[in-house]
Amino acid sequence: MDNRRKIILYGLLGFILLYQAGEWSYGRFVEAPLKQQRGMTDRLLKQIDEKRTDLKKAKKISDQLAIWERQSLPSDVDMARSLYRAWLLARVGECKFLTPNVDSVAAVNRPGFKTLSYSIRGRATLEQLNQFLFAFYSADYLHQLRSLAITPLQNDGLLDVAMSIEAASLPTAESTSQLVTRRADRLAFSHLDNYRLISQRNLFRFGSEFDAVSQTYLSGVTRSDDRPEAWFTLRASDQVLRLHRGERLQVGPFEGTIVAIDDSDVTIASEGERWQLSIGENLDQAFALPPEYATESID
């Protein structure tokens, strides 16, 4: 009986040892290599995804570079400067700028390309400037308008225009002897007629009369025949208007009625509003009175 028990115990012990040996062997020779293989596979798949992403980025950059090369000025910088200046002169000529002047400076080296800077000065109406800007942004060149300064000129409806323009030349672009003008898709509309509304709007407030309004000053308050009298000096035309309460003040497109004259202030009613002007101020500096003053009548 004891021998039988020993045999059973030895058998169980052997089974346990055999099981543990099998577990150890499976873990070392089967599971560990599989786990290692899975980890390697995951790393390879991740690297493949990264390579695919890099390829997509490279293709996108390559496509963008191809676009920039097509938009670029010729790689020959001297030729590019001359051709693009001629193109700008042609545009201001088409738009009928008065006394146009187009200058350029030496090219500046940038990382991977060169920039050419130009300046344009001239006189034009708002419609002519609008036409130039439409032509500029419709051209598929690698160029940009860096600055635009507009100064209204007195009485003739013209603007003094000063522009700063920058264009780019890529070393990988074609070195052609002429500029190929392609139509760009930068603008929302493809026809100039869609932008004519801009030149019809009064962007400079009172348009060509802006200077006359801003140069009209309340220069003094006196009494004439025991009545208060406001003196308005029109510096643009070197005139002096002497007005009493109830009389109208008209300067260019501005119209108003004198409703009150105090020691140093004048109140003017215009288009349903009342404005207060002090001695030494021009019409642009008039102070808007609260709405309740707008219903007061002239005595």
Question: What pLDDT digit, counting tens, does each position of 9-28 carry?
Answer: 666 766 676 767 667 766 67
Query: What was the pLDDT predicted at 186?
Result: 78
> Residue 30: pLDDT band by 50, 70, 90 thresholds?
low
DSSP string, 160-193: EEEEEEEEEE-TTS---SS----B---SS-SSGG
Q: What is the pLDDT of residues 147-164, one digit of tens each?
A: 998 888 765 678 889 999
pLDDT at residue 263, rounded to an integer: 86
Neighbours of 33 (CB within 10 A): 10
For position 20, what pLDDT does the model report? 73
Report the chain's C-alpha Rg in angstroms: 41
Q: How does the average pLDDT of the chain come out, rounded?
A: 81
Span 59-82, pLDDT tens digits? 666 666 677 888 888 988 899 999
Closest-CA residue to 162 (of 206, 97, 106) = 97
8 A C-beta contact, residue 217 and residue 173: no
Coil, helix or strand at residue 76: coil
Output b/e per residue, 73-106; b: 16+ Cβ within 10 A: bbbbbebbbebbbebbeebbeebebeebebebee
For 215-263, write each residue's pLDDT tens digit.
889 998 888 778 899 999 887 677 889 999 999 999 877 899 999 999 8
Separation of first and last alpha carbons in the chain: 139
**Side-chain-side CA neighbours of residue 102 (13 Å):** 19
CA atoms of 141 and 118, how far apart (whole Å): 14
How far, in Å, are 55, 56, 59 from residue 52 at the CA level? 5, 6, 10
Task: Please identify which residue in the block is written with the tokens 């700028």.
Answer: 97
Q: What is the pLDDT of residues 174-219, one digit of tens each?
A: 877 778 778 888 788 888 888 777 776 656 554 444 467 788 899 9
- Number of Cα atoms under 13 Å in the Cβ half of residue 49: 6
**Contact criterion met (CB below 8 Å) for 230 and 221:** yes
Give the number of other Cβ atoms within 10 Å of residue 270's Cβ.
16
- In this prediction, residue 194 carries a pLDDT of 81
pLDDT tens readout for residues 79-135: 999 999 999 999 999 999 999 999 998 888 988 889 999 999 999 999 999 999 999
Tokens 């200046």 appear where?
Answer: 85
What pLDDT is stored for residue 62 in this prediction? 61
**Closest residue by Cα to residue 213 from 275, 281, 274, 284:** 284
In angstroms, rounded to a whole number, what is the distance separating the alpha carbons of residues 155 and 211? 8
Question: Looking at residue 201, what is its pLDDT?
Answer: 61
The CA distance from 5 to 148, in Å, is 107
